[in-house]
Structure 1
Amino acid sequence: MDLRQLRTFRAVAELGSLSRASDKLRVAQPALSRQIRLLEHELRTPLFVRHGRGMVLTDAGRILLDRTAGLVHRLEQARADVLACSGNPGGRVIIGMVPTVGGTLAASLVQRVVEQLPGVELRLVEAYGSYLTEWLYKGEIDLAVVYGPQQNVHLRTIALRQDELHLVSAPGGWLDGRDTVTLDQLEGRPLVLPSAPHALRVLIEKAFAEADVPLVVRVEADSFQPLVEVAMSGVGSTFLPHYAVARLIERGLLVSARIEPALLREIVLALPARHLEFSASRAVADIIQQIVTEI
């Protein structure tokens, strides 16, 4: 197996067809098809099932895709680092962000990378922290902005800031007109939270346990948008940073109140533990820290 074959294999697997992979890689379809055949011949097994609508991975193909994800990305970035060692960083940098942070950070980050790092191709991935740290450990992404503290021994973290959580609910209810609430006032009130072991769920459960207040979870929602939409429906309240829902509050679709005593959640920048980051990812990490400091 060589890097060209693996890049072709991954492009076809991710896009589902030779034609789309050809457009992405800017290589003629016959050349891509030959590389796939050579790879299948070397591995002595089909990697794709061909049909009229495209190409679907076989079981063997799914194994190869999973095993080579971080490897191919690291080899490509190593090549970019060598080519750029006498100039500006280059190559592809994949950054994972938790949803509540991504909406605030992404636009500024993209703008500055375009201005300051013209040789860097940026890809943003949004997911919950547990997925991002797993992908970072496997080498599928380069950096991750997640909620901490992160205890994963395979990662390093840099503290960025702390978020203060607010109680968020639909207007027209008991929260209207309140600037602050205590956990005692939430006893018996229905809540909308992610399922365990999501970091927000763990934080809320710990706070309620320490306050000796029973926790009533009406609905579990494991992604940001459903969490917000269920809160907007009036089924229950949830906990989020104010900035994450500020526009919805301005439009009168949600109301929020601070929690007393404050519930704080740390935001950290997670990096590979074994110093595998490349010059481009280090430069992007510096920009992320600059933006957060300014905020």
Structure 2
Amino acid sequence: MPYDLQHLHAFATIIETGSLGRAAVALNITQPALSRTIKRLEDQVGAPLFERHSKGMHLTDIGGVLLPHATLLLRESEHASEEINAMRGLAKGTIRVGALGTIACLALPQAIDRVLVKWPKLRVYVVEGVWDRLAEGLVKHEIDLALGVSVADSAEITAIKDCRWDDRSHVVAALDHPLRRKKALELADVIDQRWTTTPKGTAPYAHMEQVFADNGLGMPEILVETRSVMMLKNLVAQSGFLSWMPEPLYQAEIKASLLDALPIPGVIGTRTMTAFRRRNGILPGPAVKLLEELRLLMAQDPPASA
């Protein structure tokens, strides 16, 4: 027997709110009515879904198995209603996408602009963050596409093989940094400088670490760690720090003559960027439109500027 979406919605709301009482308020129904709904769902499953305690309700093992399937069914139902209503002119579709900071700075805004020119009624919800945050957003159906560094597929997330591009990174410094006056500059010359980067454990840090290791060097001492792109660029442009940045991140600063890559021969870090989606389920129509524009953008633009 198929599951009733209203029953699954009640089930998911209890998990989200943490108690039967709060869930009843959120659903605008009485607590006894909600209890009856959950009882019908448990009868259909053939086992209890919650363990009831004085501090709230906790999932049983069987409830834990049902949860991801309930979430998928509810999200797919929402996507179907949204797309149908959008086609009927009753509602606007929503693109839900997540991206690493470098992609969010240039490639993603360009793709979004192209989509909205063609489909102005669409709306866009963007999450910017590290890969763990984006992967979690995909699994929890907060976003439908994630743009990040190419990694191995998982049981729940898979790369979209025909939407990928290369991203180049460099050691960057202000245009008046003293190292620019040094002849025959080498990577070893930057080790003793003041450095600012994203924290250890982030993709840019790991990329930088690999490039230094490939050149037989350890990492320089990082004086300032921050996830703020604005802080990184200001420390480089105004305070004499060095940093490791992908090209798209500082295109505006190049044009403003504030900072640029240091001319170190042979030191360019290249990494492959990819679009990801959930392995299971249908990719919603608005997300498909963004994906199409990303494919066109990457085909027309060289990877260095993507």
After TM superposition, the score normalised by the length of structure 1 is 0.69
Quote how far apart the aligned CAs of 1:38 are. Answer: 1.9
Q: CA RMSD in A?
A: 3.8
Aligned twin of 2:173: 169
Structure 1 counterpart SS, 2:123: strand
| Bigger-Rg structure (1/2) | 2
Matched, 1:215 2:219: yes
Counterpart-to-counterpart distance in 2, 1:133 and 1:180 = 42
Corresponding residue to 1:91 among 87, 90, 93: 93
Aligned twin of 1:128: 130
Which AA in structure 1 matches 2:247?
A: H
Quote how far apart the aligned CAs of 1:148 are. Answer: 2.3
* Alignment gaps of 5+ in structure 1: 14-32, 45-58
Contact 1:76 1:91 in 2 (8 A): no
Aligned twin of 2:210: 206
Corresponding residue to 1:114 among 113, 116, 120: 116
| Residues 7-46 of structure 1 aligned to structure 2 (within 5 Å) | 36-38=27-29
Quote how far apart the aligned CAs of 1:235 are. Answer: 5.1
Q: After the TM superposition, which of the residue ranges 242-251 and 281-290 deviates more from structure 2? A: 242-251
Aligned twin of 1:282: 288
Which AA in structure 2 matches 1:133?
A: A
Quote how far apart the aligned CAs of 1:181 are. Answer: 5.1
Aligned twin of 1:266: 272
1:85 to 1:221, Cα distance in 2 relative to 1, 3 A: same
Q: Could you report, residue by residue, the CA deviation over 1:111-142 in whole angstroms, capped at 9, with x for unpaired residues?
A: 32223335533222222232112211221101
Aligned twin of 1:26: none
1:69 to 1:123, Cα distance in 2 relative to 1, 3 A: farther
Matched, 1:191 2:195: yes
| Residues 234-273 of structure 1 aligned to structure 2 (within 5 Å) | 234=239, 236-257=241-262, 259=264, 260-273=266-279
Q: After the TM superposition, which of the residue ranges 92-101 and 220-229 deviates more from structure 2? A: 220-229
Counterpart-to-counterpart distance in 1, 2:209 and 2:125 = 34
Structure 1 counterpart SS, 2:96: strand
1:169 to 1:92, Cα distance in 2 relative to 1, 3 A: same
Aligned twin of 1:47: none
Counterpart-to-counterpart distance in 2, 1:135 and 1:106 = 17
Which AA in structure 1 matches 2:285?
A: S
Quote how far apart the aligned CAs of 1:77 are. Answer: 0.8
Structure 1 counterpart SS, 2:180: coil
| Pairs aligned (count) | 253
1:124 to 1:177, Cα distance in 2 relative to 1, 3 A: farther
Contact 1:144 1:270 in 2 (8 A): yes
Counterpart-to-counterpart distance in 2, 1:103 and 1:284 = 16
Quote how far apart the aligned CAs of 1:249 are. Answer: 2.6
Which AA in structure 1 matches 2:169?
A: L
Aligned twin of 1:224: 229
Quote how far apart the aligned CAs of 1:171 are. Answer: 3.5
